[in-house]
Amino acid sequence: MVCGNEKNMEMMNLQEILGLPILLDKQKLDLIFDGDFAPMKKFERELNELNPFLRDSDSQSGPDPVYYVWRGVYLKNDKEKMKNSGLRLDLTLMPPGKIGNEFVKTAGHYHLQYPEMYFILCGRAHILTQLYKKNPKIIEIVHLTEASAGEQVFIPRGFGHNTINVFDKPLVFATLADEKLEDDYESYKNNRGASYYFLTKNGQVDIVKNPNYDSIPELKKTPAEKASAGAWRNWNTRTLQERMDESH
């Protein structure tokens, strides 16, 4: 599946999965909200902010900002529906590129109380999830999921996760979680990122363990799921909790 139908050579339609009129401006690398959306918060993750999460603390070259996030995305007509659902929809845009010899990535964080669902809207993502029990330096489980446009990935409560773009095209994904969700970045920051780094080596992707951890298991690859177009609009916090129960 491609990202969506192109309105022209510069714009990519991202409406298929979410059912929301959103376009990707491929030239400006920006999202266009082509409808009556409620006010949302946008922030940029700048290169200097990502530095504590990188393998090489001296990395100065790379896209800046590294990625963009829009929080609380919904149409004005859906205000009550979103309020009643107890959920929050966020969008992330990651341009392609490298920071030093490390592929662009999100900082990484844990959600200790709530699960989350990822929807890939455009491009391909490597989503790395990890779990510790007592010591954040001793990882018990590491999963790697490669997901393409039109697929979804469930992140259980308690798992940390970050997203990597190893391809030469922009990546756009949505996340759906409890509106009370808070991100815990400290463990990732203290360990200079996730348990594995995605590096470029001789034109290939080289996945190596992060030496700042005391113990890391081998990667276990898990498949993504096909996303059902627009299904999320009927979900609520109970839907994600039921999915959490099924995953045990």
Residue 158 backbone zone (phi > 0: left; psi -120 to 50: alpha; other: beta):
left
pLDDT band at 3 (very low <50, low <70, confident <90, very high): low
When pLDDT is averaged across residues 20-47 and rounded to a whole number, the result is 96
The DSSP code for 183 is -
Tell me whether residue 6 is in a domain: no
When pLDDT is averaged across residues 231-245 and rounded to a whole number, the result is 89
Query: What is the distance between the alpha carbons of residues 125 and 94, in angstroms, rounded to a whole number?
Result: 10
Whether omega before 65 lies within 30 degrees of 0, making that bond cis, reads yes
What is the predicted pLDDT for the residue at 112?
A: 85
Least-confidence region, from 24-28, 156-160, 225-229, 239-243? 239-243
Q: Is the pLDDT of residue 13 over 90?
A: yes
% the chain with pLDDT above 90: 85
Whole domain around residue 27: which residue ranges? 11-247
Tell me whether residue 118 is in a domain: yes
The encoded tokens of residue 218 equal 């081998």
Least-confidence region, from 56-65, 154-163, 214-223, 227-236? 56-65
Tell me whether residue 5 is in a domain: no
pLDDT band at 87 (very low <50, low <70, confident <90, very high): very high
Q: Is the pLDDT of residue 191 over 70?
A: yes
pLDDT band at 248 (very low <50, low <70, confident <90, very high): low
Tell me whether residue 233 is in a domain: yes
- DSSP of 122-171: ESEEEEEEEEESS-TTBEEEEEEEEEETTEEEEE-TT-EEEEE--SSS-E
Tell me whether residue 112 is in a domain: yes
Tell me whether residue 3 is in a domain: no
Tell me whether residue 180 is in a domain: yes
What is the predicted pLDDT for the residue at 61?
A: 84
CATH of residue 201? 2.60.120.10
> Tens of pLDDT along 194-228?
999 999 999 999 999 999 999 999 999 999 999 99
- Rounded to a whole number, what is the largest CA-CA distance in the chain? 52
Tell me whether residue 138 is in a domain: yes
The number of domains in the chain is 1
Q: Are strands 41-45 and 139-148 parallel, antiparallel or unpaired?
A: unpaired
Yes or no: say if 240 and 180 are a contact pair by the CB < 8 Å rule: no
What is the predicted pLDDT for the residue at 108?
A: 97
The encoded tokens of residue 198 equal 């995605």
What is the predicted pLDDT for the residue at 10?
A: 82
% the chain with pLDDT above 70: 95
What is the predicted pLDDT for the residue at 127?
A: 99
